[in-house]
Structure 1
Amino acid sequence: MIEGVHETSNSERLRAAGLRVTRPRLAVLSAVAAHPHAGADVVLHSVRAELPQVSRQAVYDVLHALTDAGLIRRIQPSGHVARYETRIADNHHHVVCRSCGAVADVNCAIGHAPCLTASETHGFTIDEAEVVYWGLCPDCATRAETSPDADPA
């Protein structure tokens, strides 16, 4: 972590959310920022580079606390592990590769949140829409095109 750069802003973010500033919380925030859409194991590995003695459970607890506080966002595409990101201030969506599981951000479909108009609200006041686009990332699409087993259709 670059001393003073992320640490100060992350400390302020933690305090503003009503959370104590701790080394594990700062390390997890930095890890999630450095590895958008990373699962807990990647976050743990990154945090242990800074805090070698931190436990797996501590990282899971911090991820949960930061998600509850609205400092990070947890996404879980169907059939995949939960992933975390610091991009929380907008109603963006995601695209997921069916082959390798890569995830990328997709800006709001059209307009402002919730980006989509529901055909029926059932009385709800809708303020967010969650969309997951599925397909093949460029690398997997290229491999599929050049694979001898590729479907010619």
Structure 2
Amino acid sequence: MTRQRLAVLDAAHEHPHADADRIFDAVGAVVPGIGRHTVYDILHALSAHGLLRRIQPAGFHARYEVRVGDSHHHLVCRSCAVISDVDHTIGDSRCLSPVDDAGFDVDEADVVFWGLCRDCSTDDPRQQP
């Protein structure tokens, strides 16, 4: 694996759920002169090969995480877009299964829980008693 690809993986590991620009900034600190488009291409390639997971909650830029190979979901703050992982309460088995799979061979369920994170709900006057 190239130095550039390793730097992108390291940045994704150090900055969970980071967007491409945040990863570019982190990689640029260790690989001076790397181009933004190069980082975008590497993110695409690493995602296509299953080394990164690309997530894109509706209304937000794509984010990347190194947690692949398991089935987990995400909590997304509607205000600041912070993302947290949500593990299944029943182990590694799917927590959701369609009643009728319509002939699909289902291999993934992508569930996103939306709300306000602790910091934003404290700042939101609607959340005050």
Q: Same fold (TM over 0.5)?
A: yes
Query: In structure 2, which of residues 22, 35, 49 is the aligned counterpart of residue 42 of structure 1?
Result: 22
The aligned residue for residue 77 of structure 1 is 57
Q: TM-score, normalised by structure 1?
A: 0.79
Q: Moved runs in structure 1, 4+ residues, more than 4 A?
A: none
The answer (yes or no) to whether the contact 1:113–1:129 under 8 Å persists in 2 is: no
Gaps of 5+ in 1: 1-20
User: What CA distance in whole angstroms lies between the structure 1 residues aligned with 2:102 and 2:86?
Assistant: 27
RMSD: 1.5
Letter in 1 for 2:92: H
Gaps of 5+ in 2: none
Letter in 2 for 1:24: Q
User: What CA distance in whole angstroms lies between the structure 2 residues aligned with 1:140 and 1:151?
Assistant: 9
Q: Deviations over 1:16-71 (max 9, x none)?
A: xxxxx111101000000000100000000000000110000000010001001100
Greater RCO, CA 8 A, separation 6+: 2
Quick check: which has more Rg, 1 or 2?
Answer: 1
User: What CA distance in whole angstroms lies between the structure 2 residues aligned with 1:36 and 1:80?
Assistant: 15
Q: TM-score, normalised by structure 2?
A: 0.93
